[in-house]
Amino acid sequence: MKKFRLSKDGKTLIVSKDSIVDKHIKFEGSILAGILSSFWGNIEAREIRLAGRNFVGGDILCELAIIGPKTEFNRIIAEGNVLIFPKCKGNYVKADSVVVKEGCVIGKIKANRIVIDGVTRIGELEGGKIIASKEL
């Protein structure tokens, strides 16, 4: 079941929680998805923010992406920054700057700047500057 609505200014497409989207979404502004939403196609927007426990079967194509905790995704291709919160699973991330929080499992990350915050499992890293840290 799809539950979409536009914000008052018309620049943000809001996908309600527990929504199932079975087609590709392309929006000129920002997309904000509620918790437990599933996307079986691609998501394309300037900015994409997923609340958490989401599933994206297609690609996430954007300038800026914020991926909430425990989200599963196929690929993220962003022109700018990507922030991935804890315990996410994904196959591929390509961006200018990527920050990965603790507990994530990602196949490959390709970026100019990669920050890994905590213990994560990443198959392959390709980047200009790679920073790994763990807070004690």
Q: Each residue of 40-89: pLDDT tens digit?
A: 999 999 999 999 999 999 999 999 999 999 999 999 999 999 999 999 99
The domain containing residue 39 runs over which residues? 4-133
Between the two ends of the chain, the Cα-to-Cα distance in Å is 43
Q: What is the DSSP string of 89-108?
A: EEEEEEEEEEEE-TT-EEEE
Residue 136's pLDDT is: 42
Measuring CA to CA, how many Å separate 85 from each of 24, 76, 117? 24, 14, 10
Whole-number Å distance between alpha carbons of 94 and 92: 7
Q: What domain count does the chain have?
A: 1
Q: Supply the mean pLDDT for the chain.
A: 93
pLDDT value, residue 2 = 57
* pTM, full prediction: 0.92
What tokens were used for 108?
């490959």
